[in-house]
Structure 1
Amino acid sequence: MNGLDGPDNPLPRRRRRLDRVMMTSMTLLTVLGVFWVVWILLTTLERGFEAFSPDLFLKDTPPPGVAGGGLRNAFVGSLELLAVALAIGTPVGLLAGTWLGEFARRHPMAGAVVRFLNDILLSAPSIVIGLFAYTLLVAPLKHFSALAGGVALALIMIPVVVRTTDEMLRLVPDALREAAVALGIPYWRMVVHISWKAASRGILTGILLALARLSGETAPLLFTALNSPYFSTALDKPIASLPVVIFQFAMSPYPDWQKLAWAGAFVAMVFILALGLLARWLQARGTSST
């Protein structure tokens, strides 16, 4: 027997004690994190469900001090902003990620630079992106607009889609590409019909997760779309959005507005959870199919 493994050697005992300490610490921290998440979810469900009613989807936001009302204009405005962000961010992110995953291997230095810049944009604070959109669209046009809000959200969405597309395409086996090129298929057609198809579930998962993140963004919209107490779908005018309405109503001194804020938070949480579950389901289905 090696003398280092003998019963008198204190090293294994120290390692076992350290292992127990680390396992206990990680377990306690996990329980602590789960506790706060469950508490937030249960509080939002309890307070939001109390204020939940059909008027929430049928009436617009009420004036200060007026009982009743709903969040119809905020729901429609948020969906419109997400649609604009999706229409701008998805093709830009998909094409940029495709260049990184398929064509940047020919230019490794350029690919490394683009990935580095994309990581910077991915970690940029949303309020900074909102300020950039304000400088780009709001200040020159001299008015807030839904289009500016959608562009700000698209700038947040693009790096997420770029990263997801890049990672998913790099997981596609090179044997599929080589087989397609050997049959005489142009490289761009191989990317569209083989690489995209093989990575489609992963890319769609990334898009859904990006939408889930955008659903709760407030700071960029304060600089761009602002808010409106009226129902509007015009892209060149200020528009209501659920995160901004929740922020304003929760900070107000009116109990009716505070109830509507809880109800809006409840709907937003359900929407984000649904997107997260759908993304998980697509990811699990893609893993099982491979």
Structure 2
Amino acid sequence: MGVLTGAMVLAVIPLVLILYKVGVEGLSTINLNFFTMDEPTYRTTEAGYRAGFVGTLYIMAGAIVMAIPLGLATAIYLVEYGRGRLAGLIRFFTDVMTGIPSIFVGLFVYGMLIASGAIFRVGFSAFAASVAIAVIMLPIVTRSAEEILKLVPDEWRNASYALGAGKARTIMTTVLPAAAPGLATGSMLAVARGVGETAPLILTALGSQYLVTTYFSNAQGAVPLQIHSGATQPFAAGIERAWGGALCLFLFVLILVIAARWIGARANKRA
């Protein structure tokens, strides 16, 4: 117990130090202007991350629509229908995609949608960034959903069949409602992973210091991109705002993780 407790303390120390440092540096920067103003220059003190927050909302909304339904459908196929080589091949590529560095995903989307001679030329945009983030989220959603669906007892499926329901109806009315809390948890964790990605956005969204409301055209801002840009320039005001953006991003991810754990805990109690 002593060894395990010491290991736990050592594991928690970096998290506490990160939270303390980001909180101390970023809390003084966050105010109304931080959420309602753009950042025309790094040296000005009256500026904010409005472009980044709106851009992140655009990008993540598109990524959620692309990744979560497809990931859930893939998991349903693997658990309820998948047999043989095809299912094994899907699982293999899902595992491979989980370990691919995110910068490679950005390069892939850049070559497919943005570079000269791209298959579908759309240019730097929120759409291209959404595709990259969706590719990162997809294997997380698929693998977590597959494991959750496997936990639904076969007796429940058999009872549904005994009442005359077909396979599709059994999945929709018995399996998915029973697995819903776990599916929501896995999806939220995938969103938490995607919202903090920076490398793919450099190659797909490119970034913008001004508010951009288009989705399929024009370079788009994002909070991770503004944090990266602000932290690497020499002006104190820009660096302070980078700390504020980091704190907001940290709190958002923390809220998603806590909500996912809470949903999972309530589901376990009901079980």
Q: TM-score range by the shorter chain?
A: over 0.9
Q: Which residue of 1 aligns with 2:58?
A: 80
2:141 corresponds to 1:165:
no
With CA pairs under 8 Å and 6+ residues apart, which has the higher RCO, 1 or 2?
2
Q: Which residue of 1 aligns with 2:244?
A: 263
* Structure 2 segments unaligned to the other structure (5+ residues): none
Distance 2:237 2:148 in 1: 47
Quick one: which amino acid aligns to residue 198 of structure 2?
T
Q: Which residue of 1 aligns with 2:188?
A: 208
1:219 to 199, 208, 215: 199
1:212-251 alignment runs, 5 A limit: 212-235=192-215, 236-251=217-232
Deviation at 1:251, TM superposition (A): 0.7
TM-score (norm 2): 0.95
Distance 2:265 2:6 in 1: 29
Distance 1:176 1:75 in 2: 44
Q: Which residue of 2 aligns with 1:51?
A: 29
Question: 82-91 or 111-120, which moves further after superposition?
Answer: 111-120
1:90 to 64, 68, 74: 68
Q: Which of structures 1 and 2 has the bigger CA Rg? A: 1
Distance 1:117 1:208 in 2: 22
Distance 1:196 1:67 in 2: 50
Distance 2:261 2:46 in 1: 37
Q: Which residue of 2 aligns with 1:61?
A: 39
Deviation at 1:142, TM superposition (A): 6.5
Distance 1:168 1:34 in 2: 28
Quick one: which amino acid aligns to residue 59 of structure 1?
M
The number of aligned residues is: 266
Deviation at 1:32, TM superposition (A): 2.0
Distance 1:70 1:247 in 2: 15
SS of 1:253's equivalent in the other structure is: coil
- Two-structure CA RMSD over aligned residues (Å): 1.3
Q: Which residue of 1 aligns with 2:9?
A: 31
Contact 2:66 2:131 in 1 (8 A): yes
Distance 1:234 1:41 in 2: 34
Distance 1:29 1:175 in 2: 41
Contact 2:122 2:128 in 1 (8 A): no
Quick one: which amino acid aligns to residue 212 of structure 1?
A
Q: Which residue of 1 aligns with 2:88?
A: 112
SS of 1:199's equivalent in the other structure is: helix
* Structure 1 segments unaligned to the other structure (5+ residues): 1-22
Structure 1, residues 46-80: CA drift from partner, whole Å, max 9, x if none? 11101111100110113143221000110010011
Contact 1:48 1:264 in 2 (8 A): yes
2:123 corresponds to 1:143:
yes
TM-score (norm 1): 0.89
Distance 1:142 1:159 in 2: 25
Distance 2:259 2:91 in 1: 27
Q: Identity rate of aligned residues, in percent?
A: 37
Distance 2:218 2:47 in 1: 22
